[in-house]
Protein backbone atom coordinates (compact mmCIF):
# COMPACT_ATOMS: atom_id res chain seq x y z
CA UNK A 1 0.00 0.00 0.00
CA UNK A 2 1.38 3.41 -1.02
CA UNK A 3 2.21 5.89 1.73
CA UNK A 4 2.94 9.60 1.71
CA UNK A 5 5.14 11.83 3.79
CA UNK A 6 4.29 15.54 3.76
CA UNK A 7 5.28 18.95 5.07
CA UNK A 8 2.59 21.51 5.91
CA UNK A 9 3.06 25.21 6.51
CA UNK A 10 1.01 27.79 8.39
CA UNK A 11 1.38 31.45 9.29
CA UNK A 12 0.70 31.84 13.02
CA UNK A 13 0.95 34.69 15.50
CA UNK A 14 4.35 33.27 16.51
CA UNK A 15 5.68 33.20 12.94
CA UNK A 16 5.65 30.62 10.19
CA UNK A 17 5.38 27.00 11.37
CA UNK A 18 5.89 23.69 9.62
CA UNK A 19 4.51 20.25 10.41
CA UNK A 20 5.75 16.90 9.09
CA UNK A 21 3.56 13.80 8.97
CA UNK A 22 2.78 10.61 7.06
CA UNK A 23 -0.48 9.21 5.74
CA UNK A 24 -2.04 6.74 3.35
CA UNK A 25 -4.50 9.35 1.97
CA UNK A 26 -2.96 12.80 1.49
CA UNK A 27 -6.15 14.71 0.60
CA UNK A 28 -8.08 13.31 3.56
CA UNK A 29 -5.24 14.05 5.97
CA UNK A 30 -4.86 17.67 4.85
CA UNK A 31 -8.62 18.13 5.26
CA UNK A 32 -8.37 16.71 8.80
CA UNK A 33 -5.60 19.14 9.73
CA UNK A 34 -7.58 22.10 8.42
CA UNK A 35 -10.84 21.02 10.07
CA UNK A 36 -9.22 20.72 13.51
CA UNK A 37 -9.38 16.92 13.74
CA UNK A 38 -5.75 16.35 12.78
CA UNK A 39 -2.76 16.34 15.10
CA UNK A 40 -3.17 18.38 18.27
CA UNK A 41 -0.30 20.70 17.35
CA UNK A 42 -2.01 21.68 14.06
CA UNK A 43 -5.39 22.69 15.48
CA UNK A 44 -6.56 26.26 15.10
CA UNK A 45 -4.45 27.10 12.05
CA UNK A 46 -4.95 27.04 8.30
CA UNK A 47 -2.39 24.68 6.76
CA UNK A 48 -1.16 24.41 3.20
CA UNK A 49 0.79 21.58 1.64
CA UNK A 50 4.41 22.61 1.02
CA UNK A 51 5.94 19.27 0.06
CA UNK A 52 4.91 15.63 -0.38
CA UNK A 53 6.59 12.37 -1.36
CA UNK A 54 4.90 9.13 -2.44
CA UNK A 55 6.59 6.02 -1.05
CA UNK A 56 5.91 2.35 -1.83
CA UNK A 57 4.84 1.36 1.71
CA UNK A 58 3.61 2.97 4.91
CA UNK A 59 6.73 1.73 6.71
CA UNK A 60 8.94 3.65 4.27
CA UNK A 61 6.72 6.71 4.70
CA UNK A 62 7.15 6.50 8.49
CA UNK A 63 10.93 6.18 8.11
CA UNK A 64 11.09 9.15 5.76
CA UNK A 65 8.94 11.19 8.15
CA UNK A 66 11.49 10.53 10.92
CA UNK A 67 14.24 11.98 8.72
CA UNK A 68 12.24 14.99 7.52
CA UNK A 69 11.25 15.93 11.08
CA UNK A 70 14.94 16.29 11.87
CA UNK A 71 15.86 18.14 8.66
CA UNK A 72 15.56 21.72 9.91
CA UNK A 73 17.36 23.11 6.87
CA UNK A 74 14.71 21.73 4.49
CA UNK A 75 11.87 22.92 6.71
CA UNK A 76 13.31 26.45 6.92
CA UNK A 77 13.81 26.48 3.14
CA UNK A 78 10.22 25.38 2.51
CA UNK A 79 8.90 27.94 5.01
CA UNK A 80 10.85 30.81 3.45
CA UNK A 81 9.71 29.73 -0.01
CA UNK A 82 6.07 29.59 1.13
CA UNK A 83 6.27 32.99 2.87
CA UNK A 84 7.45 34.48 -0.41
CA UNK A 85 4.21 33.37 -2.05
CA UNK A 86 2.04 34.55 0.85
CA UNK A 87 3.44 38.08 0.63
CA UNK A 88 4.32 38.99 -2.96
CA UNK A 89 6.63 41.96 -3.49
pLDDT in tens, 52-78: 999 999 999 999 999 999 999 999 998
Tell me if residue 50 falls in helix, strand or coil.
strand
> Which CATH number characterizes residue 56's domain?
3.40.1440
What is the domain extent for residue 43? Answer: 3-86
Give the pTM: 0.87
Q: How many domains does the chain have?
A: 1
The model's pLDDT over 16-55, given as tens digits with 9 standing for 90+, comes to: 899 999 999 999 999 999 998 888 888 888 999 999 999 9
Cα gap 9→71, rounded to integer Å: 15
Amino acid sequence: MTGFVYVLGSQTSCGYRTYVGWTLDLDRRLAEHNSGTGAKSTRGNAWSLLYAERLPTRIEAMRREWHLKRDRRLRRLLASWAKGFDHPM
